[in-house]
Structure 1
Amino acid sequence: MNTLLPVTLELHGVRLEPLGAHHADGLRAAAEDGHLWQLRVTSVPEPQDVDAYIYKAIEQRPNRLAFAVIDIGTGMLIGTTSYHDIVPAIDRLEIGYTFYAKRWQRTHVNTTCKLLLMTHAFETLGARLVGLRTDNFNHASQAAIERLGAKKDGVLRHHQPRRDGTVRDTVMYSITAGEWPEIRAHLRHKLARHGVR
């Protein structure tokens, strides 16, 4: 897999740019839109923890590359997403640490971000597999991942701690390089169907 360097990606009025300290206020506002940190099955930071969240994301490079998701038209920060668990030796990475302000959920944004990230992963970086994962009780996230066309690999039992002290099972999904052309066509069709050109 080619070296993963910070990059800016744009499509359909959405820009992904490397997440930095200057995004803190926007990310805080995105988390507050819907009080997303109160959702038990997500890892959205509480407003007072946003700076530490960004610092940790930057500190995790090169195993994680976090992006700020920006609405190009307004300059508003919509949310964040990341490449993570990057394993160059086997051409594998995952997409996750994703959340969007409530007003942007169930719009074209998630599909656009996934199309951008997977296109870059498969067609520029040379990834052979892109993984996605979520909490076993995060049914909305599982449905969103399945709508992308990802295949369910299985469940890792007793895998990660939640903020409330319980331990989650993690549902694992993936898309292979061989599946990518069909998934790409599917995502483009989804966006076109919703009037996004």
Structure 2
Amino acid sequence: MIKAGPVTLEFNGLRLEPLAPHHEDGLRAAASDGELWNLRVTSVPEPHNALQYITTALEMRDRVAFAVIDASTGAVLGTTSYHDILPLVDRVEIGYTWYAKRVQRSHVNTSCKLLLLSHAFDTLGCGVVGLRTDCENFASQAAIEKLGAKKDGVIRHQALRRDGTVRDTVMYSILREEWPAIKRGLHERLERHARV
């Protein structure tokens, strides 16, 4: 049975450390980079709500939230989490992920997913890792599919958006037996990115 808990993970110039109140200023700056809270299909907090965002994440019983840190500068680049942790079936999901606009389409997301997936499968012994996104968040769907995750389906009328509308949620997963090939693919993608 998996036991997902706070841990610090490092790879490729990034550090994922347990999200804490001292990340407030950095999270506020990351959210401000691109005014990401204006996107209705994300969970990015308004800058003045960064501390409440952290508090909410820490109060959730089935969520382990991380600050995404540039290891060389200490700058907060965004956040990501394990959530909907189901120890009895060895399942976690990766989500609540967002990054400052300046690091989007860089190595950051691929590196973070490699860290979290490696920890989930290789350390925690997960049988499956799930990912989900808003049915209207086409960029997120493309990124998840690019990872190699399989689309499980759509849960209709599943979650409330910040604007009060109700979203359909697209569900994806990666099974343990699919992980070795996906891991190789993520390493190859990072190697190509480094050569550019």
TM tier, smaller: over 0.9
Alignment match, 1:33: 33
Whether the 8 Å contact between 1:2 and 1:124 is mirrored in structure 2 is no
Deviation at 1:17, TM superposition (A): 0.2
Q: How far apart, CA to CA, are the structure 1 residues paired with 2:91 and 2:4?
A: 11
Asked whether 1:52 is paired with 2:52, we answer yes
Which runs of no fewer than 5 residues in structure 1 stay unpaired? none
Alignment match, 1:109: 108
Deviation at 1:5, TM superposition (A): 2.2
Deviation at 1:95, TM superposition (A): 0.1
Deviation at 1:49, TM superposition (A): 1.2
Aligned-partner SS, 1:70? strand
What CA deviation, in whole Å up to 9, does each residue of 1:51-85 have, x standing for no partner? 11101111113x10000000011111000000000
Deviation at 1:3, TM superposition (A): 1.8
Deviation at 1:45, TM superposition (A): 0.8
Count of aligned residue pairs for this structure pair: 195
TM-score (norm 1): 0.97
What CA deviation, in whole Å up to 9, does each residue of 1:114-173 have, x standing for no partner? 000000000110100000000000000000001100000000000101111110000000
CA RMSD of aligned residues (A): 0.8
Alignment match, 2:142: 143
Which runs of no fewer than 5 residues in structure 2 stay unpaired? none
Deviation at 1:2, TM superposition (A): 3.0
Q: Which letter maps to 2:57?
A: A
TM-score (norm 2): 0.98
Aligned-partner SS, 2:146? helix
Alignment match, 1:180: 179
Whether the 8 Å contact between 1:40 and 1:164 is mirrored in structure 2 is yes
Alignment match, 1:13: 13
Alignment match, 1:88: 87
Asked whether 1:24 is paired with 2:24, we answer yes
Deviation at 1:194, TM superposition (A): 0.9
Q: Equivalences for 1:132-171 in 2 at 5 Å?
A: 132-171=131-170
